[in-house]
Amino acid sequence: MPRPTSGPMARIVVWFVVYAALFLPSPTDLAAQRWVLVAPPQFQKPAQPLVDRRREQGHEVVQISVADGSTFADVQRRILDATSDGGQVLLLGAWSQGAGHIPSGVGAEGRMQGEPTDFAFLRGLPLDGKRLLGRLPARTPDEARAMVDKILRCEDRPPGDGANRLALFIGHPGGANYLEQQVGESIVQHIGNQKLRELHPIWSAQCLADMRSSPLATPQFGARLRHELQQPHLFSMFFGHSMAAGIGASDQRVTREQFGQLDQQAGPAVMFTCGCYSCQLAADDSGYALSAIRGPRGPAAVIGAHGESYAVAGRLAMDGLNRHFSSAAPPRELGAYFLAVQKGIASGPISNLTFFLFDQGDGSRGQTSLAEQRKEHLEMWTLLGDPAMRLPLTPARLKVSAMRDGDRLRVSVAPGDETASLWSSGATVNVVLECRDPEGKEDARFGAVLGRGKAEIRDQTAELTLQLPATAPRAMCVRAWLQGRGEAAVGAVQITANP
Please give the average per-residue pLDDT across 399-414, as a whole number. 94
Instruction: Tell me if residue 311 falls in helix, strand or coil.
Output: helix
139 near 98, Cβ under 8 Å? Answer: yes
- DSSP string for residues in 462-490: EEEEEEPPSS--SEEEEEEEEE-SS-EEE
Decide if 27-136 and 141-384 have a common fold. yes
Confidence of residue 149 (pLDDT cuts 50, 70, 90): very high
Please give the average per-residue pLDDT across 36-58, as a whole number. 97
- H helix or E strand, kind and range, residue 75: helix 72-82
Residues with Cβ within 8 Å of residue 187, at least 6 apart in sequence? 173, 357, 361
Q: Give the residue extent of every domain in the chain.
A: 27-136, 141-384, 398-496
pLDDT score for 441: 82
Confidence of residue 53 (pLDDT cuts 50, 70, 90): very high
- CA gap 378, 162 in Å, rounded: 32
pLDDT score for 28: 37
The tens digit of pLDDT for each residue in 295-353 reads 999 999 999 999 999 999 999 999 999 999 999 999 999 999 999 999 999 999 999 99
- CA gap 218, 240 in Å, rounded: 15
Give one word for 313, left, alpha or beta, with left for phi > 0 and alpha for psi -120 to 50.
Answer: alpha
Instruction: Tell me if residue 144 falls in helix, strand or coil.
Output: helix
Please give the average per-residue pLDDT across 77-96, as a whole number. 95
- Spell out a b/e string for 436-462, using b for 16 or more CB atoms within 10 Å of the CB, else e: bbbbbeeebbbbbebbebebebeeeeb
pLDDT score for 186: 85
Confidence of residue 471 (pLDDT cuts 50, 70, 90): confident
Q: What is the CATH number of domain 27-136?
A: 3.40.50.10390
Using a 10 angstrom Cβ sphere, with 0-12 exposed, 13-18 middle and 19 or more buried, the burial of residue 141 is: middle
pLDDT score for 98: 63
Beta-bridge partner residues of 277: none
256 near 282, Cβ under 8 Å? Answer: no
pLDDT score for 498: 64
Residues with Cβ within 8 Å of residue 23, at least 6 apart in sequence? none
- CA gap 92, 132 in Å, rounded: 14
Q: What is the CATH number of domain 141-384?
A: 3.40.50.1460
Top-confidence residue, 27 or 176: 176
- CA gap 306, 91 in Å, rounded: 17
- CA gap 50, 145 in Å, rounded: 10
Instruction: Tell me if residue 148 falls in helix, strand or coil.
Output: helix
Instruction: Tell me if residue 189 falls in helix, strand or coil.
Output: helix
Residue 160 has pLDDT above 70, yes or no: no
Residue 10 has pLDDT above 60, yes or no: no
Residue 197 CA to its chain's centroid (Å): 18
Provide the 10 A C-beta neighbour count for residue 350. 15
Residue 11 has pLDDT above 50, yes or no: no
- Write the CA distances from 481 to 158, 311, 408, 419, integer angstroms: 13, 37, 20, 11
CATH architecture of 398-496: Sandwich (2.60)
Residue % of the chain over a pLDDT of 90: 71
Confidence of residue 20 (pLDDT cuts 50, 70, 90): very low
Confidence of residue 162 (pLDDT cuts 50, 70, 90): low
Give the orientation angle of helix 370-380 with respect to helix 352-362, to 10 degrees: 60
- Write the CA distances from 198 to 157, 201, 249, 260, 319, integer angstroms: 26, 9, 27, 33, 10
Q: Considering Cα of 70, then 75, then 76, then 78, what sign does the dihedral take?
A: positive
132 near 118, Cβ under 8 Å? Answer: no
443 near 204, Cβ under 8 Å? Answer: no
Provide the 10 A C-beta neighbour count for residue 22. 7
Residue 480 has pLDDT above 60, yes or no: yes
The tens digit of pLDDT for each residue in 262-282 reads 998 777 889 999 999 999 988
The tens digit of pLDDT for each residue in 227-242 reads 999 988 999 999 999 9
pLDDT score for 97: 63
- Write the CA distances from 366 to 181, 359, 360, integer angstroms: 20, 7, 7
Confidence of residue 29 (pLDDT cuts 50, 70, 90): very low
Strand-pair category, 34-39 with 60-65: parallel
Confidence of residue 250 (pLDDT cuts 50, 70, 90): confident
Lowest mean pLDDT among 27-36, 269-278, 398-407: 27-36
- CA gap 151, 293 in Å, rounded: 11
Top-confidence residue, 388 or 100: 388
Residue % of the chain over a pLDDT of 70: 92
Lowest mean pLDDT among 121-125, 166-170, 267-271: 267-271
pLDDT score for 99: 65
Please give the average per-residue pLDDT across 286-293, as a whole number. 96
pLDDT score for 244: 96
pLDDT score for 100: 73
Greatest extent of the chain over all pairs of C-alpha atoms, in Å: 81
Tell me the residue type at 246: G
87: closest CA among 43, 148, 128, 147? 128
Provide the 10 A C-beta neighbour count for residue 162. 19
